[in-house]
Structure 1
């Protein structure tokens, strides 16, 4: 009698004659080969599968498009954030540059005028033959009994003392009244209590200038000559007479203004000339205080030769 194992393998051999144990039946291999050949033929022809492919594409295509539209913003989000940050940075840089350009345009006139004033002050130092401490007008107003004064941003620390001549690039401004360590009060020549020794440049006649108290376009000075018989002429230039010390309160030879008219004072039986000052007192900015050469100062000093020290 055969065992269970003998019966099993003996039965298998009866079903597939000549096959080895563990190999697939010949019928299965033949079916697979025929299926592969059929698929290759169908794929080559294409006409049979095209409708099916189109049907699948029509169903799957919109779904793929929707999915791509949904996924794309998520995928591109980091790049979009980076681009937005860069755009914000570029925009901020452009705005800063525009602000800087607008500021330069707004202040270009001021810078140009101040540069011209500084150049004029350098020329004034050469013409006067004296050293100048540059300063800017920072205030205007009355000082004690005087009505026409200005405050400048230079004081004793800059080598300034009372009774020094103050000029700008146009001519005589006034004299220093008093000083602090960092500021000084300047009495303008248009003040009614101001008296300036002057001479008519053409004939060297001496006289005295007094102010009328006006600071605007109507600012005028009255000139009374020492020799009452001399009558100044219109357009005669008037300059400072100068003190015996040569430095205070007014140095000699500083342009003051020009004669615009002459009138007679019946009460005083004298001739007087009206002088239009060269300096525009309503637009004072940069001035120079005449100091002795070699004065110690906390700022650059313009020497008589136009150099800086």
Structure 2
């Protein structure tokens, strides 16, 4: 089509006419005089519009998906990071609650014994031949070598190496560990020795050995041990619970007696512990030991059992004696 003055005039007239028709139809609303023309246009152009939309829509959706893909990916990554953060927060809250309970128990135990402590957390376990763990406290917290380490349950070991922010603890289960110990009732003394990793071969129930110095001293299963204490309270302070005698080995011509001891501490699940930075003013003796479990209730003897005769039997005997007297 040639761009002439006439074509421009026709185009302008058509545009003006279209605007007039749109205005009249809009102002008329439902009563518009052009309603019939609008319905005819919808009937004619509606199928064409739907067909073109069916062709164009998938292309538009694909284009939108391509353009929105980076935003969707970033949104998914952000949501994944948020979910991970929330999961870690839930786990941390559960761990904090458990550690808070352990710390309360630890402070209670230290208070009974009169120990001044610095609380610590086990952050790693030794991978070599020694039974050791690493704590998250060091010289900056007042920790020194040859200090006693305990948990709420009892003796853990002693500090062997100290750094500015960490400390290494030799566990009481190590084969090189020797601790002076005392029985709670008889006050007999002896040496508790670790058995190393081989002590875990029976499930970890008896990983330490107690050697009684006096072969004739009384020793029985169920007796409990506490630390005897070292000279100058280093490396072991007195009165820290160690464990319970589980089995007694009969001596074979030896000068001492030995027993296998079940520790109070679970060395495979150490978490919150304490380093004793100052000993008690006096030996707590057996005060830190946990209370003994109550004995199981015994059944009352049934009536008529050996001992006290049943009432009806006593009455029968009296009646027989009375008849004999009357006869």
Q: TM-score range by the shorter chain?
A: 0.5 to 0.7
1:260-275 equivalences under 5 Å are 260-275=246-261
Q: Which consecutive segments of 4 or more residues in structure 1 shift more than 3 A?
A: 49-73, 83-97, 104-113
Q: Is the 8 A contact 2:149 2:157 kept in 1?
A: yes
Alpha-carbon distance between aligned partners in 2 of 1:280 and 1:104, rounded to the nearest angstrom: 27
1:101 counterpart residue number: 86
1:133 counterpart residue number: 118
Given the superposition, is the C-alpha separation of residues 67 and 101 from structure 1 closer, same or farther in structure 2, using an over 3 Å criterion? same
1:75-114 equivalences under 5 Å are 94-106=79-91, 110-114=95-99
- Which shows bigger deviation, 254-263 or 147-156? 147-156
Shift of 1:157: 1.3
Shift of 1:86: 10
TM-score of the two chains, using structure 1 as the length reference: 0.62
2:242 counterpart residue number: 256
Structure with the larger RCO, 1 or 2 (CA within 8 Å, 6+ apart): 1
Alpha-carbon distance between aligned partners in 1 of 2:222 and 2:162, rounded to the nearest angstrom: 36
Structure 2 residue matching 1:154: 3-state secondary structure: coil
Given the superposition, is the C-alpha separation of residues 267 and 112 from structure 1 closer, same or farther in structure 2, using an over 3 Å criterion? farther
Q: Is the 8 A contact 1:190 1:219 kept in 2?
A: no
Q: Which has the larger radius of gyration?
A: 1
2:174 counterpart residue number: 191
- Unpaired runs of 5+ residues, structure 2, are 1-33, 59-67, 280-327
Cα offsets for 1:191-221 (capped at 9, x unmatched) = 2222111111122222211111136424522
1:285 counterpart residue number: 271
1:205 counterpart residue number: 188
State which of 208, 211, 227 in structure 2 corresponds to 1:224. 211
TM-score of the two chains, using structure 2 as the length reference: 0.59
Please tell me the root mean square deviation across aligned C-alpha atoms, in Å: 4.0
Cα offsets for 1:137-184 (capped at 9, x unmatched) = 2231448xxx32222222211111111101112210111123222222
1:124 counterpart residue number: 109
Structure 2 residue matching 1:265: 3-state secondary structure: coil
Counting matched residue pairs gives 240
2:152 counterpart residue number: 169
